Amino acid sequence: MVRSGICTSAFGIKAPIIKEGDNIVDAVIDSVFNATRIHNDIYDIEDKDIIGITESVVARSFGNYATIDDIAEDVKKKFFGNVLTLVNMIYSRNRFAMILRGIARGIYKKGAELGFFDGKIYLYMPLIDEVGNISRNHPFTGMDYTEYYREIIESEGVECVIVESNFNPSDEHPTNVLYCGLHDYNQFKERYSGFRYWYTLADILSDRCDWGVLGSNKATEDKIKLFPNIKDCVRVCEDIKDKIKIVTGKDVLVCVYGDGCFHSPMINGILGTSINEFADPVTMPGYTDPEIFESTPNEIKIKAFADDKYKDLHGTELDNAIKNEIKEYNAHNLVGNMIAQGTTPRQYRDLIASLCDLVSGSGQKGTPIILIKNYFNNYASY
């Protein structure tokens, strides 16, 4: 039997299927209590346990959906003329194909009904996209995204011009540009703020979602699920935290998580292909306790002490020496200190979101809620 008191552990918790209008707070609390109940109203929940909820069930419960026609109408409002340049889209049927259809549908095209193309989209498609997908003969999906995206655009009565290179705005300055990057869209907007009719995916349907259509997923053949809004996520997290405190007396941390940072350097035995699974605009759209989630670990490198300073110690003597080092140095900020060398300064929200995402999966596990215990413990805690 695993002794949970001395183990850092993460559990995927089964939950009911969440639909629009369902009470997500009650669903999460009931699921966590069912999973942790020891006896009657006694639960295996401790202070600083972490409860993570995948963003998709939060968005679904709040009805964060949009149709292809919704996207098309917003494109019509934002752009002028019948020619549009798309830059830095990702190659994904789930993440971008539906958005692309809405964009193409929104292009002004008076000639389409007469059987000829009037609108035109320039699609800049380098070999590898932002998250590591390749444009042709994708090893996961077998897709040729250049032809797939062309078919989508032309099915909406718009001419498609594939440009298999990176976009260089210094070469030409088209009137209508839609930048589709996931994580550098703010820098793009700042750099080209003086250009007319230059937008990002975060601007499309921005009245409905804090990130526009970034982070959206296919829901049906004509509808996408948008990323959840910050205020909704924060409210859900705070309500869950408060209600668990009332029942158990424990002060837990709660977060809504998106994609973690999975990286695959080899796909189907093929080297040189890489997927960086981070297709959401942020790892966490909402959480409690920002002073913790937005901080970084303050840690020494145990193996460095074991191999160097205490190389002649063994067993209990070595254990005690390392524990004393941890207790001494944890009281100080170790930024720039060589004893912390090799401990990557990532924020807790990114580390924890990655752990949650890898445990929950995205398919048929049915565990959209993650419980993490003893995450903030260290070697000196035991």
- What does the alpha-carbon distance between residue 326 and residue 260 come to, in Å, rounded to a whole number? 29
CB burial string 276-313: b at 16+ within 10 A, e below: ebbbbbbbbbbbbbeebbeebebbbbbebbeeeebeee
Residue 175's CB is within 10 A of a number of other CB atoms, namely 14
pLDDT band at 2 (very low <50, low <70, confident <90, very high): very low
- Which distant-in-sequence residues (6+ apart) come within 8 Å of 210 by Cβ? 227, 229, 230, 285
pLDDT at 340: 45
List C-alpha distances in Å: 337 to 308, 326, 327: 16, 14, 16
pLDDT at 345: 62
- The answer to which of 191-195, 301-305, 350-354 has the lowest mean pLDDT is 301-305
Residue with more model confidence, 131 or 267: 131
pLDDT single digits (tens) 338-353: 444 545 567 899 999 9
Cβ 255 vs Cβ 288: under 8 Å: yes
CB burial string 186-210: b at 16+ within 10 A, e below: eebbeeeeeeeebbbbbbbbbeebb
Strand-pairing partners, residue 271, are: 266
Instruction: Provide the 8-state DSSP code for 285.
Output: S
Q: In what helix (H) or strand (E) does residue 272 lie, and over which residues does it extend? A: strand 270-277
pLDDT single digits (tens) 358-379: 899 766 788 999 999 999 877 6
pLDDT single digits (tens) 66-119: 999 999 999 999 998 889 999 999 999 999 999 999 999 998 765 445 555 578
pLDDT at 73: 96
- The answer to which of 38-52, 103-117, 304-318 has the lowest mean pLDDT is 103-117
pLDDT at 163: 93
Q: Which of 261, 124, 108, 105 is nearest to 179 (CA)?
A: 124
SS3 for 151-201 is: HHHHHCCEEEEEECCCCCCCCCCCCCEEECCCCCHHHHHHHCCCCCCEEEH
